[in-house]
């Protein structure tokens, strides 16, 4: 079969890597369509080599605001699909890239397989992720849900039951496959001399970045927790928010904070996570990674589209107020029993074999990927 793997952000590169390797392993013609949504060198160039996946068949190189990004991705995706005529185009998650790739492929009559389908909060937040994931689902021929809840949400929206599959999340595959590798080859602990307790911090959601009150609460909590050592993985949008709200210099100069641009290598990021006592994040993917690696997690949001991790006891939403974040972080770091309970929580996102399941399901649908309606014959 000819399978297109479409993505364009660092997180989705990581989550799609196990799928790409599985597709190649089985002998399928494997094409990579990269949108360019994340184009900074440390989010792209070294990452592909670290993940051990081929460079893109086509890099669309889309840049600009969301509308400009979308226009180019939709047009170029449709052209690519019409030229290559793949059996299916796989997209991942709830990004602008996933939405625009899905639209471009569907408009070119190419079947779409949505990995991580059915993420729902039934609220405006997370913005714009809820818009993106719902649009991708509306374009899809096959739905690969990570959890039973995701499946039930898709069914409630009248998506076809025979095309919805609970497969777990490929981030578990990636985390488990690369954590062992990280311990062997990562030298990041030699570069940064970490002191305990250590918190891995990553915050980049647009709903937070655009909100002064929220970001001040989040940044103030970093500065308040002076008894803790932080490794802050800083995306470009995070840096812009720190500058916009007047925190950039204070965060970069704080003695207990390592304020570092997002690491190029996933294995380096994983190595630091494995060393950490707690993860503080607003990232959906990191909530899943924390549950997979059995690291306590606090989510810097009011709602989450990963409620399974909260129900399992591996994760908790703190909101964005300084007082709440500081209280919850100190409670976990000062209470070994509470931290251990979170570490022992069962991972709700699968067993690390999601990629194998997804490719097997795609193979079963060879020649019958389209979702054309059929005439009902009355008996």
pLDDT tens, position by position, 95-108? 999 999 999 999 99
pLDDT in tens, 327-345: 999 999 999 999 999 999 9
* Integer Cα distance of 85 and 9 in angstroms: 24
> Can you give the pLDDT at residue 88?
98
Q: Are 241 and 211 in contact (CB under 8 A)?
A: no
CATH topology of domain 186-343: Rossmann fold (3.40.50)
Q: Which of 88, 97, 105, 92 is nearest to 167 (CA)?
A: 92
Q: Is 316 helix (H, G, I), strand (E, B) or coil?
A: strand
Judge whether residue 213 has pLDDT over 80.
yes
Give catalytic status of residue 204 as yes or no.
yes
In the chain, ranges of CATH 3.40.50.2000 domains:
2-169+351-364, 186-343
Judge whether residue 219 has pLDDT over 90.
yes
Judge whether residue 313 has pLDDT over 90.
yes
Confidence of residue 113 (pLDDT cuts 50, 70, 90): very high
* Integer Cα distance of 131 and 99 in angstroms: 8
Find out if CATH 3.30.360.10 is the number for domain 2-169+351-364.
no
Q: What does pLDDT average to over the chain?
A: 95
Greater model confidence, 297 or 42: 297
pLDDT above 70 covers a percentage of the chain that reads: 98
Instruction: Find all residues with CB under 8 Å of 188, minimum gap 6, and list them.
Output: 263, 265, 268, 271, 272
Mean pLDDT of 181-205: 94
> Can you give the pLDDT at residue 379?
57
**Cis omega before residue 128 (within 30°)?**
yes
Mean pLDDT of 277-286: 96
Mean pLDDT of 118-141: 95
Instruction: Find all residues with CB under 8 Å of 161, minimum gap 6, and list them.
Output: 155
Judge whether residue 251 has pLDDT over 70.
yes
Catalytic, out of 92, 204, 256, 294: 204
Confidence of residue 243 (pLDDT cuts 50, 70, 90): very high
Q: Is 88 helix (H, G, I), strand (E, B) or coil?
A: strand
Judge whether residue 377 has pLDDT over 70.
no
pLDDT above 90 covers a percentage of the chain that reads: 92
Judge whether residue 42 has pLDDT over 70.
no
> Can you give the pLDDT at residue 370?
87
């Amino acid at each position: 079969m000819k399978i297109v793997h479409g993505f364009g952000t660092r997180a989705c590169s990581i989550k799609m890597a196990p799928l790409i390797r599985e597709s190649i392993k089985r002998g399928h013609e494997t094409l990579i369509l990269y949108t360019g949504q994340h184009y900074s060198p440390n989010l792209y160039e070294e990452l592909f080599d670290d993940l051990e996946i081929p460079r893109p068949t086509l890099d669309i190189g889309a840049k600009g605001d969301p509308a400009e990004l979308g226009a180019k991705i939709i047009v170029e995706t449709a052209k690519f699909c019409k030229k290559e005529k793949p059996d299916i185009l796989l997209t991942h998650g709830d990004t602008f890239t996933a939405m625009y790739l899905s639209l471009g492929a569907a408009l070119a009559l190419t079947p779409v397989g949505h990995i991580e389908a059915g993420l729902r909060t039934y609220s405006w937040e997370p913005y714009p992720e809820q818009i993106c994931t719902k649009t991708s689902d509306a374009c899809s021929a096959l739905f690969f849900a990570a959890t039973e809840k995701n499946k039930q949400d898709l069914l409630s929206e009248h998506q076809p039951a025979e095309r919805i599959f609970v497969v777990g999340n490929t981030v578990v595959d990636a985390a488990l496959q690369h954590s062992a590798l990280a311990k062997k080859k990562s030298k990041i602990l030699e570069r940064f001399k970490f002191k305990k307790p250590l918190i891995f911090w990553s915050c980049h959601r647009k709903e937070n970045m655009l909100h002064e009150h929220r970001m001040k609460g989040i940044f103030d909590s970093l500065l308040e927790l002076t008894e803790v050592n932080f490794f802050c993985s800083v995306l470009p949008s995070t840096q812009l928010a720190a500058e916009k709200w007047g925190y950039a210099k204070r965060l970069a100069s704080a003695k207990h904070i390592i304020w570092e641009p997002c690491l190029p290598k996933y294995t380096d990021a994983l190595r630091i996570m494995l060393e950490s006592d707690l993860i503080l994040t607003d990232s959906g993917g990191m909530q899943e990674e924390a549950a997979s690696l059995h690291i306590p997690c606090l989510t810097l949001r009011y709602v989450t589209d990963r409620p399974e991790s909260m129900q399992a006891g591996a994760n908790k939403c703190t909101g964005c107020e300084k007082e709440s974040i500081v209280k919850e972080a100190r409670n976990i770091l000062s209470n070994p029993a509470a931290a251990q309970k979170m570490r022992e929580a069962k991972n709700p996102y699968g067993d690390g074999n999601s990629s194998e399941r997804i490719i097997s399901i795609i193979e079963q649908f060879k020649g019958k990927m389209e979702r054309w309606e059929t005439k009902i014959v009355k008996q």
